Structure formats: C-alpha cells, structure tokens
Amino acid sequence: MSATLIDGTGIASEVRGEVGETVAEMRAKHGIAPGLAVALIGDDAASAVYVRMKERAAVEAGMASETIRLPADTSQDEALAVVRRLNDDARYHGILVQLPLPAHISEDAVIESINPDKDVDGLHPFNVGLLVAGKPRFIPATPAGIQELLLRSGNDPSGKHVVVCGRSNIVGKPIMNLLMQRKDGANATVTVCHTRTRDLGAMTRQADILIAAVGSPQMITADMVSDGVVVIDVGVNRVDAPERRRGYRLVGDVDFDAVSQKAAAITPVPGGVGPMTIAMLLRNTLNAARRSIHGESRPTA
C-alpha cells in the first residue's frame, strides 16, 4: 500500500480562507477586527520563526496583531505585567505567550495570569477543565488542527481506535480529551502511550489512527504500524543535513518513507500538522472576538 498524503498546507489554507471571510464580515457588520497579541520572551530561534508566522497569518486574515518581544532576562513580574496589560487591552481578543519561556519564568504562573476569555492557546486551567468536561471553549491549536485534518481528509475518528504517543499538556492530553468526546467529529476510543508504556509497538499496531507526538526523530517505524493505518505525525525535529544551506532538515516522529508503504493516509513533515496549528489559532482568535460581541460562543468558522 502507498499512503494518501494528508495535505496540511492545503487544508490549513481552506480554514484560513474561511476565517478571513468571517473576519471581513465582522469588520463590515460590527466594525471590529479580531485582535491577537503574541508575547515572545527570550531569543529561541524556532520560537521567533513561529511567532513571525503567526503574526503574518493573523494580518493576512484581516486581524489586528501585535507581537511584544521581550529580552531573555525579563523577570517573571515583568512578564506578568505584560499579560495584565494585554488582558485589559480591548483591541486584543486573543493572547498567546509563546512557549517555552526562559527557565526562570514559571510557565504555569504566566498561563494562569491570562484572562481565560482571551486564552486562545487553550492552556489556562479553566479552559482545560472545560475541554475535559465536554464543553470546550478554546481547544489548543495543535489538537484542534489534528481533528480538523482528520475530518477534512475523510478520516472521521468516530468508533475508531486512536493511539496517541505522547502525553504533553499541549498535544497528547488535549487530543485524547478531544477525540473521546461524545460529539460529532470525535467518539473515538483513545489509548495514550508514553515512556512508561510497556511494548509500545504492541499498542501502536492496534491503531486505526496513530498520532505521534513524542519529539523523537522517526521513532515510529514500519514494524510498529498495521496495514491501512491513518498516521498523524505531530513531531518537528531538526536532523543534521550538511548538504542543505541551513545545515539541517525537519523530520517528524514517524519514519515517513517506510510507514507510508503500509499506511492508508499520512501527514508529511513539514506540511502536515504545523500549518494547521496556525490556522486553528486564528480560528480561536476569531471565536474569542465573537464571544466579545455576542457574549456566548457561536459555531466556529
């Protein structure tokens, strides 16, 4: 079998187009442009790239966007003061603090200081609780993007066995909660694996849908999947590539060439989950702006 490619770039562009249309309607009808504020603290090169992409995408969708860049020696109090200022700034419906933060700043303290109504990353404990309770408001962008990729590529998870490798707060746990919901587009049976899982391959071979979010280059090999599996590769790993100008290339957590011989469908890296993360951040920002206009959340774009 040779897998169908799940085109994250194409699907993300569809979502961004839909968000852009709704933003234009909102501007015309209410005179309001959804606003996204991003705080970038420190000089992590990958974070700087992600933040630039988010800002550019927000502007392209017709949103107002500001990036606050702070040096690596910013104190925790200063970081909290920036979040408080953004909480009070009515131009911004969504606030995102780019992670990771410098080690001396508590991520929990910063995330918990964001107004949950503006928490478009969906990481505030209040929004995590809503997701777990089956009443999601802001779903973290990467898991939301994975669900959208599955649905728009014709791979509805309903009734399927989804095996997730990884249990982080930003990917593994929220995708588990999202796909097990009693809701259209979910209703999966979900197994979550991690470093203490005994015989990972025995688990992953049971998957109808396999989601790899471990942060370990090409760790999921062909012997770990069954024929016909649908594979979502969340991993973004740099590996040395001296022949490239930059000296590295990006690979996922899945051995793409070998696994795609057995899979029915698979996401590439890059061009799979990554573009969806940005698209869903925009959708969350749009929904935050809608809530500010209508009081309650409306159906998503």
Ligand X SMILES: NC(=O)c1ccc[n+]([C@@H]2O[C@H](COP(=O)([O-])OP(=O)(O)OC[C@H]3O[C@@H](n4cnc5c(N)ncnc54)[C@H](OP(=O)(O)O)[C@@H]3O)[C@@H](O)[C@H]2O)c1
Rounded to 5°, angle at Cα 290 from 284 and 292: 110
Least distance in Å: CB of 292 to ligand X?
Answer: 26
| Residues making contact with ligand X (CB under 6 A) | 142, 165-168, 170-172, 193-197, 200, 213-216, 219, 234-237, 273-274, 277
Which of 98, 147, 181, 218 is the catalytic position?
98
Q: Which is nearer to ligand X, 67 or 237 (CB)?
A: 237
Helix 172-179 to helix 141-152 angle (10° resolution) is 50
Angle between helical axes of 8-30 and 141-152 (0-180°, round to 10): 110
| CB closer to ligand X, 8 vs 157 | 8
Catalytic option among 7, 121, 253, 255: 121
Q: How far is the CB of 159 from ligand X (least distance, A)?
A: 25
Helix (H) or strand (E) holding 103, with range, is none
- What distance in Å separates the CA atoms of residue 3 and residue 68, rounded to the nearest whole number? 42
Q: How far is the CB of 146 from ligand X (least distance, A)?
A: 9
Give burial (CB, 10 Å; 0-12/13-18/19+) of 227.
exposed
Quick one: which of 175, 181, 184 has its CA closest to 209?
175
- Whether 98 is a known active-site residue: answer yes
Task: Report which residue's Cβ sits closest to ligand X.
Answer: 168
Q: 273-294 and 45-60 are packed helices; what angle lies between their axes, rounded to 10 degrees?
A: 50
Is 76 known to be catalytic?
Answer: no
**54 catalytic, yes or no?**
yes
Closest CB to ligand X among 33 and 267? 267
Residue number with CB closer to ligand X (5 or 80): 5
Closest approach, Cβ 274 to ligand X, in A, equals: 4
Residues labelled as active-site residues: 54, 98, 121
